[in-house]
Structure 1
């Protein structure tokens, strides 16, 4: 996998105008960036190209503007990026046309320029060929460093790869290598932990995983749907009863594929969903009618941790309980810390991704200890679902 796409090792950027697609979609509050994680992730690509004498021209979107919207300008983000990389970042008030052309023409080798929000133009999301051509005219090569936008076939995330020589940036490269290790050519046994509230949002994911992994741990609200499908009473727990047949089909598919499905054998139950509500662990065959399962119980935690002990590779998406409120974070925190300890001991390759998952691992204090954490939500999910990502595919096939 690592050799099937081209990277910065395959190109001389000196004196070249390098269009770099990055993810600058960072959380903002009152014009200030509140979390610079994504800016820190793209810093190596930007500083490497600049350091080698390339002219770095950043392309990115921000939010979902309907036309030009000053509130969704990238200008404050460019300023925050300059703080992160400790280099000046110039800014142009448009990403095409005379403003962009003149700003690029004024650049010297090593300069960094951020162009305005690509989504201020509706043609960006339509992958309009004339818009692609306007963007392409600003650069000599295209580097895609935005894995998180790679599931979208837009002008700046995919279209440019068909008209300019295309390469993966360092962040994209790291992501593809990590994900390749996890599912494309993993060290076995492979275990997946999938949690979250709803089965409906993860049917494709589960159906793909059972054909790829040796064991699949199902937790969170979605586990209740599987338990209900097997005839267990789950009281007032969150459950998609209309998906019982789907759950059984996934279990049958797992059996055919020799994938062990690990469901909770006990649950932490409360009568109301609020912090520190009185709770008690019950076996799965004894859930009270007025109770809600809000976390996996102690025996289930032991089973999950035993499965982690048996694994050489772990893919994690979604918490196994309502981790946002104590004490229903215990299952997620215990298993996350167990996986982190195995990873640090060199016994496990652990890859996690998705918004809730990142928040849960940060809550457990172990985000730094996993082998790789993907900050990409939709792209990470589609990748685990086995779907080709347009922004990645164009790097595989791109010639130039």
Structure 2
């Protein structure tokens, strides 16, 4: 892959504009989950160790191109300082005099957080003049925000063309993991694709069929595929208008030699709540008044066998309604099996997507995976085979 890393950059005495994603959850004025902040620390520490000053560019929320006080990045400053273990300066704007003065006052080895880039409508429009105004603040650019790389914004794409640029450690780790999983993987390659709707995963399935050897389909999506095969799914979440598309996907997979694993047994219930009365039935025997909420034990056993035969696993989406017990059983069991094989050195496992991360964390398996991406849309678009503007802008000719 043709992009520079921090190892290729001379940063001594340089101001490094560092695009990060610290769009973290906040309640009552305090950060409730600092995971994204913690994951940028290697990049910040490397810039400082190489003699550079790190000036952070970031967005927060959706202010729609104007200043919104409750979306000020100032709210993340205490959590950032705590994680980094040193003071972090703050500027009330990301361009202009406020930014220039704060950068001028920044001591050697200092870190500065600039105000929300999305307070300017020119950011999301990727306005060339705004990109130039951002670039005027520094000597080099480092993009460590893979999770925002699918957006062609001024701070993620435009600025990279205007100054010496590289990827940060988090983005480097992410791109390396994805390249191992889908670029030049060790085969057999297997994918788990779950979630509620087939319609949101069409491009993903279309791309994966040509690149992997087998796909486990779970969650509400699986119900649509079962219905496409003529099976009754009762009151289950199901896109009946997508059954034709599901049949086309199955036919394409068969023609391309990609095995599709659908549930052979399912967990059904009459109501969707914790501890609801439930039963296990064959996938062909869902009662008319029940909903399918998880895959059953026979399906879990089939998945476990398939995992054992695979060398590479890409995972996006849960296998059932994992948020509520006991309908988390299939997702948890599959996650633990993948984690066990990964620990044993038998499987490269890469996972990503909001629900996926939550499900793997809930199962206690996330830390054992080879790589778990915190990027939502960018991870999905990469799996779909799309070019990410923020990555493409960093590629060397």
**The two structures share one fold, judged by TM-score above 0.5:** yes
Residues 56-89 of structure 1 show CA distances to partners (whole Å, capped at 9, x for unaligned) of 1100000001310110111121221111011211
Q: Distance in 2 between matches of 1:80 and 1:234?
A: 47
Greater CA drift, 354-363 or 106-115:
106-115
Paired residue for 2:26? 28
Q: How many residues align?
A: 396
Paired residue for 2:98? 99
CA RMSD for the aligned pairs?
A: 0.8
> How far off its partner does 1:109 sit?
2.2
Paired residue for 1:46? 44
- Kindly indicate whether the alpha-carbon contact (under 8 Å) linking 1:319 and 1:360 is maintained by their aligned counterparts in 2: yes
TM-score (normalizing by structure 2): 0.99
Greater CA drift, 310-319 or 77-86:
77-86
Runs of 4 or more above 3 Å deviation? none
Paired residue for 1:68? 67
> How far off its partner does 1:119 sit?
0.3
Paired residue for 2:187? 188
Q: Distance in 1 between matches of 2:296 and 2:74?
A: 48
List runs of 5+ in structure 2 lacking aligned partners. none
- Kindly indicate whether the alpha-carbon contact (under 8 Å) linking 1:58 and 1:113 is maintained by their aligned counterparts in 2: yes
Paired residue for 2:110? 111
Q: Distance in 1 between matches of 2:85 and 2:280?
A: 52
- Kindly indicate whether the alpha-carbon contact (under 8 Å) linking 1:14 and 1:109 is maintained by their aligned counterparts in 2: no
Q: Distance in 1 between matches of 2:359 and 2:153?
A: 31
Paired residue for 2:217? 218
Q: Distance in 2 between matches of 1:184 and 1:327?
A: 36
Paired residue for 1:19? 17
Q: Distance in 2 between matches of 1:103 and 1:275?
A: 52
Helix, strand or coil: the match of 1:286?
coil
Residues 285-342 of structure 1 show CA distances to partners (whole Å, capped at 9, x for unaligned) of 2111111110000100001111111100000000000001011000000000000000
Q: Distance in 2 between matches of 1:135 and 1:25?
A: 19
Paired residue for 1:122? 121
Helix, strand or coil: the match of 1:274?
coil
TM-score (normalizing by structure 1): 0.98
- Kindly indicate whether the alpha-carbon contact (under 8 Å) linking 1:223 and 1:263 is maintained by their aligned counterparts in 2: yes
